[in-house]
Every structure is written in structure tokens, then in C-alpha cells.
């Protein structure tokens, strides 16, 4: 077994974390890769694969995990273009992927119940405790209006989610902590966001109307612990779709406790569907921004497809 750890090079407590990893996993002689810039995790994951590492642990939050997963997949690209068929999924499934929650938002780790102690993570690895989990593939348009493709492991949403993560990227204050930063970003966005009309066509449903947010969920949580998709499963080959329509800030605050407890919301403007694919487009001139695994990536129109049991995840 060859283990690689991918860590944000500017992470708080970096020296202690790297020392703890070296001590806890010393018999495996782990290699530690440190990121130096945004998107570097993708490159480092590809490098780890090409150097023969069969167990790759991403230390960070959902954005870091997304970058790492995309890097691992890109290392096994076999075809032309970016369609999901252009990859050797048989080889990809042989790489054991794990996450050590160490970011500002660690929502996917809540769905798969990842421990926050290195010794517990080591136990899972030694017991070969893995399962094949689903992953999402998305096509969308970049800020430069170029067609792009990307994989996601947790949640992709259109609407206020993209505006929220832009606020966090621009004004995240480390001293205040993740809880206060996320609460401020979400509530201020709800209070000011102009809802847009969209059309969504899934494999088994069609929806049209004004939205605050349209959530395509593989995992249950986003936004730092908001259980927006209570029935989402990472192993059933389906997305849980959550349509948040014309709601107010007061509606959100009234239901916040239920959302944090990952309960379904009984509200005339909140709707739930299940599907293995969906296409989303705006019915207005306004661009609809996209949040993918806690990062702004571009704009709709967008197509999303669930790819069942493609990633061997340590959990």
C-alpha cells in the first residue's frame, strides 16, 4: 500500500498536521503533497496516481475533495473529449480515496460519516473499509462562456448557492469561524437575491418556475452542515433534487432547525424529486450562477448525470 496525503499548503496548523500524519502512518511511509495555489490539488492528485500511489487522502473541505477527485479521474482519461465515457472507470475504482475533514466546510464527510481523528481514519484503511460510491458529471458554461465539464461528489446547485460562495470567497474572515461566515453569507444572499425563472427536465420529471435555489444532491449536506437533501444516498445511482422556490428570509429562519437536522421541509415553495439526470436552463436573460461542492464554477445551462458506484471511498 502506498499512501499519499494532499494538504492545503496554507492550512492553519499545517506543521502539526503533517507531523501527526507522519507519526500516525509511519509504517506506511506516507508522502505528503502540499498545494501552492487554487486548483493545485487536481494536479497533485494526478501526480500521485502516476507515481503509483493507490491510496490518496485529501485533507481539507469539499472544494479540496472535488479538486482531488477530478485529478484522480483525469489521470485515467482514455478517450477524446470530456464526456464521462472517456475515462477508464475500472482503473479509477482501484484507487482508494479518502478525506480527512480539515476545511471550512466539510459537508460530504458528514454524509459518509468520516472520523475527525487520524487514528480512526487509519483504522478504516487497515480494515480495508471502502465502498463504491456515486459521482456526478456536469456540463456547464464558464465565466468566459466556454463549455466546460467537471465531476462532483457532493452537491451542485444553481441560484443563490453560487452567489453565496462568491461572498465567502471574497469576504471569509478566519477569525469569525466557519459557522458565522456561512450564516452571514447565506442569510444576506436570501435577503437580496433576485429569483429567476428556470426550466428543469429530469429523466422522470419536468419543473418550471421561479427559484431561490435548485439543488442537485449526491450527498445530504451543504453550506456548512445544512441537511438540504435528507433522502440523498451516495450509492443508489440517483440524485435528490430539492427545488427552493419563492421563499423569504423569514421562511428560511423558521425552518433552519429542521434543515440542520436534515428533515424534509413542508412548504408550498419547496419541492423534492429523484432522478439520475437533469438539464437546467434559465427562462430569463439573467445568468444563473453555479455552486459545485462549495465553489463557484460558472453558469447554466447545465446538464448533470449520476454515475453509479464509480469511486472507491474509504468510509
Q: Are 7 and 44 in contact (CB under 8 A)?
A: no
Pick from 105, 106, 109, 133: which is nearest to 121 by CA? 109
pTM attached to this predicted model: 0.94
CA dist 38 → 60, 109, 149, 287 (Å): 13, 21, 18, 24
- State the Cα–Cα distance between residues 39 and 65, nearest whole angstrom: 11
Q: CATH for 136-308?
A: 2.60.200.40
Q: Which fold has domain 3-135?
A: Rossmann fold (3.40.50)
Q: Where are the domains of the chain?
A: 3-135, 136-308
- State the Cα–Cα distance between residues 237 and 306, nearest whole angstrom: 6
Give backbone dihedrals phi and psi of 129, rounded to 5 degrees, phi first: -85, 90
Return the bridge partners of 7, or none: 34, 59
Tell me the per-residue pLDDT of 253-269, one tens digit each, with 9 for 90 and over.
999 999 999 999 999 99
Mapping DSSP to helix (H, G, I), strand (E, B) and coil, where does residue 197 land? strand
- State the Cα–Cα distance between residues 16 and 161, nearest whole angstrom: 33
- State the Cα–Cα distance between residues 72 and 47, nearest whole angstrom: 9
C-alpha cell at 48: 500521485
Q: What is the pLDDT along the chain (315 residues), one digit of tens a residue?
A: 999 999 988 888 999 999 999 999 999 999 999 999 989 999 999 999 999 999 999 999 999 999 999 999 999 999 878 789 999 999 999 999 999 999 777 999 999 999 899 999 999 999 999 999 999 999 999 989 999 999 999 999 999 888 888 777 765 555 566 778 888 888 888 888 889 999 999 999 999 999 999 999 999 999 989 999 999 999 999 999 999 998 999 999 999 999 999 999 999 999 999 999 999 999 998 889 999 999 999 999 999 999 999 999 999
114's enclosing H/E stretch is none
Helices (H) and strands (E) in the chain, counts: 9, 15
Tell me the per-residue pLDDT of 24-33, one tens digit each, with 9 for 90 and over.
999 999 999 9
- State the Cα–Cα distance between residues 18 and 245, nearest whole angstrom: 44
Q: Are 276 and 237 in contact (CB under 8 A)?
A: yes
- State the Cα–Cα distance between residues 310 and 52, nearest whole angstrom: 19
Q: Residue 254: CA atoms inside 13 Å, Cβ hemisphere, count?
A: 8
Number of residues in the chain: 315
Strands (E), the chain: 3-8, 31-35, 55-60, 96-101, 130-141, 147-152, 155-159, 196-202, 206-211, 213-217, 239-244, 270-275, 277-282, 289-292, 295-314
- State the Cα–Cα distance between residues 122 and 234, nearest whole angstrom: 22
C-alpha cell at 260: 440542520
Pick from 201, 215, 193: which is nearest to 283 by CA? 201
Amino acid at each position: 500500500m502506498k499512501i499519499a496525503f494532499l494538504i492545503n499548503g496554507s492550512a492553519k496548523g499545517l506543521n502539526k498536521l503533517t507531523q501527526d500524519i507522519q507519526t500516525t502512518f509511519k509504517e506506511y511511509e506516507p508522502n505528503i503533497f502540499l498545494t501552492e495555489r487554487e486548483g493545485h490539488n487536481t494536479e497533485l492528485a494526478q501526480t500521485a496516481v502516476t507515481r503509483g500511489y493507490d491510496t490518496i487522502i485529501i485533507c481539507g473541505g469539499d472544494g479540496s475533495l472535488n479538486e482531488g477527485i477530478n485529478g484522480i479521474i483525469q489521470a485515467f482519461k482514455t478517450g477524446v473529449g470530456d464526456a464521462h465515457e472517456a475515462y477508464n472507470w475500472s482503473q479509477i475504482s482501484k484507487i482508494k480515496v479518502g478525506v480527512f475533514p480539515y476545511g471550512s466546510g466539510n459537508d460530504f464527510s458528514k454524509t459518509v460519516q468520516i472520523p475527525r481523528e487520524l487514528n480512526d481514519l487509519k483504522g478504516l484503511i487497515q480494515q480495508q473499509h471502502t465502498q463504491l460510491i456515486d459521482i456526478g458529471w456536469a456540463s456547464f458554461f464558464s465565466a468566459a462562456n466556454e463549455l466546460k465539464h467537471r465531476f462532483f461528489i457532493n452537491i451542485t446547485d444553481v441560484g443563490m448557492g453560487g452567489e453565496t460562495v462568491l461572498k465567502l470567497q471574497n469576504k471569509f474572515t478566519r477569525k469569525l469561524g466557519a459557522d458565522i461566515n456561512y450564516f452571514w453569507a447565506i442569510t444576506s444572499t436570501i435577503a437580496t437575491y433576485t429569483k429567476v425563472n428556470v426550466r428543469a427536465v429530469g429523466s422522470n420529471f419536468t419543473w418550471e418556475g421561479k427559484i431561490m435555489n435548485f439543488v442537485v444532491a449526491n450527498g445530504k449536506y451543504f453550506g456548512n452542515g445544512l441537511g438540504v437533501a435528507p433522502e440523498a444516498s451516495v450509492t443508489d445511482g440517483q440524485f435528490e433534487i430539492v427545488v427552493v422556490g419563492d421563499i423569504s428570509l423569514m421562511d428560511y429562519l423558521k425552518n433552519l432547525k429542521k434543515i440542520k437536522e436534515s428533515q424534509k421541509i413542508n412548504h408550498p415553495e419547496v419541492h423534492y424529486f429523484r432522478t439520475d439526470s437533469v438539464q437546467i436552463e434559465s427562462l430569463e436573460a439573467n445568468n444563473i450562477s453555479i455552486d459545485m461542492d462549495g465553489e463557484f464554477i460558472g453558469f447554466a445551462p447545465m446538464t448533470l448525470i449520476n454515475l453509479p458506484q464509480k469511486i472507491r471511498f474509504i468510509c
